[in-house]
Amino acid sequence: MSLNESSKIGVVGAGTMGTGIAQIAATFGHDVFLFDAYPDQLEASKNSLEKILNRQVEKGRLSAKEVQDILSRIQYQSHIKDFAKCEIVFEAIIENLRAKKDQLARIEAITSKTCILASNTSSLSIASISSGLKKPGRFLGIHFFNPAPVMKLVEVIPGISTDSEATVQARNLINSWNKTTVLAKDTPGFIVNRVARPFYGEALRIYEEEIADHATIDWAMKELGGFRMGPFELMDLIGHDVNYAVTESVFKAFYYDPRFKPSFTQKRLVEAGLLGKKSGIGFYDYRKGAKNTEPNRDEKLGTEILNRILAMLINEAADAVFMNIATVQDVDLAMKYGVNYPKGLLEWADEIGIETILNRLEKLQDEYGEDRYRPNPLIKKMAGNHQQFYS
């Protein structure tokens, strides 16, 4: 079976992500069945989507007729029986292994033998989720980024049992939705959540050493590095409970590799309920009338901060290639479109020079004596051979 614009789409979970996936599919002409076990959530999803689309009309991006057509293609379901008509079903419920396995097993019993099943997990093992299925060959991970209708990147993650044809069909479908797909191996964090860890982790380490405060580190990364947000602003926006949980999950999944070691500073913020924007205070104070620290705009200090964090990010990006998690091109696409980095990390490495990156990493390792800073073998090999990622 070939997925195309007439394929019927199932979505499980009417939260923000499930509603976003339903919106994308309906926008591209698909009939969509959006299921949630809670009627209140279905109603909230419907109301939210109407508001989002009506704002697009106000901004002149969609016509009233286009909005009506999109909304008419989505059927809100309190039962999964209509998934029997679907050719692909996206599961987008809570990030809990048992819940996902149970839900997908129920869907498998309803759908046709050729229906592709996909999980929108951001961190769980695709192999673990698939173990509850009778036919794991038709199952894979498809990770949209929030907000799904806006973010271009989608990570496609086949599991150890996934049939290659299921991967091809799913990827072609999502590409037809004007998304940029990247193929990732089923390893902790896939591409983006793995490679991005040093953006937070090394910034926190610099902060804990009192080399610079959070405002100065954010200033350096934005003004000198071109990042849209600094690491502390971004952690405050994501929520420290969420960001810390991902870091801890990746750390454990990699058998406590020191490259991914979580920060006690962030752990204490979580314990104190200082979660960032959503709680009113994190590294920054978001309460009315609050005054926040001004950065130290010392360019020499800022450059040192940028170079240190960037070397760690490039080292992690190189490791993803070295371990065959993804191609050079897909790693760079993932970081540009998944977390809005100013350029691909490996492209950036070529501009700086692989030998320069190796020297920065070796200096850090010599200074700290920690395995955290070990240069990736690919970086070493390329520096020795005067190679580039893009030649």
Residues annotated as part of the active site: 122, 143, 155, 193
C-beta separation of 201 from 247 below 8 A: yes
Residue 97: count of CB within 10 angstroms of its CB: 14
| Pair 1, 82: CB distance under 8 Å | no
CA atoms of 156 and 136, how far apart (whole Å): 16
As given in the structure block, the two tokens for residue 165 are 């044809």
Angle at 210 (CA atoms; ends 345, 233), nearest 5 degrees: 50
- Residue bearing tokens 């520096």: 383
